[in-house]
Chains A and B, each alone.
Chain A
């Protein structure tokens, strides 16, 4: 029986008691907030899950999610719980590679900042966003995109009937509207202005690769990582660098990534991060496994 550490992207819904849970597991979270503050030059020390300046700002919410994930992964590993595999959902990739000791904490912060800045530059002047569609298949969504000629891509497949879409804001809105009329159970616009995993960001790859080559030291990952793009297993610095650049503008398939880990005999999935978004998505994967969101992790290490 194997264990995978899975890392969420930026958190849109906090449980509310994350700080208390971390405090119980380990008292070191303030040190991680301090590290984030030093790495960014911004104040993260006063972080609160109820403070919108942290939770609603796109970049700061990513840094906070990363900080949570790194602290939690370090705490679990120090208590003897070691992963057989790592996998990051979208921007969770950076914390996954930190947990594998392929990058240092500050390098992860710099990568997140740089990915954000380059993405913003590339779409400068374009109103972009992301949305969620529940109740339609990829084929049904692609049909709408084709018929309406929309500059929108499916960003992530969370299950057969749950997807994130990304692209030009006007087109994302049009897609959500048509999807609902077509019979989607639920559609919503996400609080994100960057079209992650969209063709609109394809031009980021050269600049981001250059940044990685010049400024980031990548080491072999101590644990194998499963790509959420193509489900490859990788550990080498070259493959990690490629994953960082392609993760920004290519479609992800978390559903298949999860099933790939099940085929590798993973039965325990530890959600290293705040909230329980990956636990929620895992409901739609058939199989004999258990996902431990943050508030259930204590049962694994006592």
Chain B
């Protein structure tokens, strides 16, 4: 289990926002926690997969994608804020995210 401190939180936010700004060709300033990934930014599920790969490499994690898939059934991600929140939980709990029900 990794302790998620303010530095990691800031890092994750920056990577997520920069990623969507580049992929969706929007100004990073336009992206907020409430931005809907699909309807506001024109993003897609492949981008979600790409981001997971970026973070697993960055934080040297071995994540079974299926645990994230199962977690996302109960905790669907629609906005940038929800995506950042999920990513922080993946970093913190790894494959144990599946047992995280709050």
Interface residues of A in 112-151 (CB under 8 A from B): 134-136, 140
**Contact between A281 and B46, CB atoms less than 8 A apart:** yes
**Which residues of chain B are within 8 angstroms of A159 by Cβ–Cβ distance?**
49
**Contact between A186 and B65, CB atoms less than 8 A apart:** no
**Contact between B73 and A180, CB atoms less than 8 A apart:** yes
**Which residues of chain B are within 8 angstroms of A140 by Cβ–Cβ distance?**
66
B71 to chain A, nearest CB (A): 9
Question: A162 at interface (Cβ–Cβ under 8 A)?
Answer: yes
Interface residues of A in 157-182 (CB under 8 A from B): 159, 161-162, 180-182
Question: B31 at interface (Cβ–Cβ under 8 A)?
Answer: no
A136 to chain B, nearest CB (A): 7
Question: B45 at interface (Cβ–Cβ under 8 A)?
Answer: yes
Residue of B nearest to A188 (CB): B45
Question: B32 at interface (Cβ–Cβ under 8 A)?
Answer: no
Tell me the bound Cα distance from A146 to B100 in angstroms: 31
**Contact between A183 and B45, CB atoms less than 8 A apart:** no
Total A-B residue pairs with C-beta atoms closer than 8 Å?
A: 52
Give the interface SS of chain B, mostly helix, strand, loop or mixed.
helix
**Contact between A186 and B67, CB atoms less than 8 A apart:** no
Given A180-B69, A180-B73, A183-B70, the answer on whether A135 and B49 have CB atoms closer than 8 Å is yes
B39 to chain A, nearest CB (A): 13
B96 to chain A, nearest CB (A): 15
Q: How many residues of A contact B (CB 8 A)?
A: 19
Residue of A nearest to B54 (CB): A283
Given A180-B73, A185-B72, A280-B44, the answer on whether A162 and B49 have CB atoms closer than 8 Å is yes
Interface residues of B in 47-85 (CB under 8 A from A): 47-50, 52-53, 64-70, 72-73
Indicate which residue in B45, B50, B53, B66 contacts A136 across the interface (CB closer than 8 Å). B66
Given A135-B66, A136-B66, A161-B65, the answer on whether A186 and B73 have CB atoms closer than 8 Å is no
Residue of A nearest to B98 (CB): A183
> Contact residues of A with B, CB < 8 Å?
134-136, 140, 159, 161-162, 180-186, 188, 280-281, 283-284
**Contact between B53 and A185, CB atoms less than 8 A apart:** no
Q: How many residues of B contact A (CB 8 A)?
A: 18
**Which residues of chain A are within 8 angstroms of B69 by Cβ–Cβ distance?**
135, 180, 182-185
Indicate which residue in A185, A188, A281 contacts B65 across the interface (CB closer than 8 Å). A185
A168 to chain B, nearest CB (A): 24
Given A180-B73, A183-B70, A185-B72, the answer on whether A283 and B65 have CB atoms closer than 8 Å is no
**Contact between A185 and B44, CB atoms less than 8 A apart:** no
Tell me the bound Cα distance from A180 to B53 in angstroms: 19
Tell me the bound Cα distance from A161 to B64 in angstroms: 12
Given A182-B66, A183-B67, A183-B69, the answer on whether A284 and B50 have CB atoms closer than 8 Å is yes
**Which residues of chain B are within 8 angstroms of A181 by Cβ–Cβ distance?**
73
Residue of B nearest to A283 (CB): B50
Please list the 9 inter-chain residue pairs (A to B) with the smallest Cβ-Cβ separation, ordered nearest first: A183-B66, A183-B69, A186-B45, A183-B70, A185-B69, A283-B50, A135-B65, A135-B69, A134-B45
Tell me the bound Cα distance from A29 to B77 in angstroms: 40
**Contact between B46 and A162, CB atoms less than 8 A apart:** yes
CB<8 Å pairs between A and B, sample of 17? A134-B46, A134-B48, A134-B49, A135-B68, A135-B69, A136-B66, A161-B49, A182-B66, A182-B69, A183-B64, A183-B65, A183-B67, A184-B69, A185-B52, A185-B69, A188-B45, A283-B46
A189 to chain B, nearest CB (A): 13
Residue of B nearest to A295 (CB): B25
B9 to chain A, nearest CB (A): 23
Residue of B nearest to A186 (CB): B45
**Which residues of chain A are within 8 angstroms of B52 by Cβ–Cβ distance?**
185
B61 to chain A, nearest CB (A): 16
Tell me the bound Cα distance from A134 to B48 in angstroms: 10
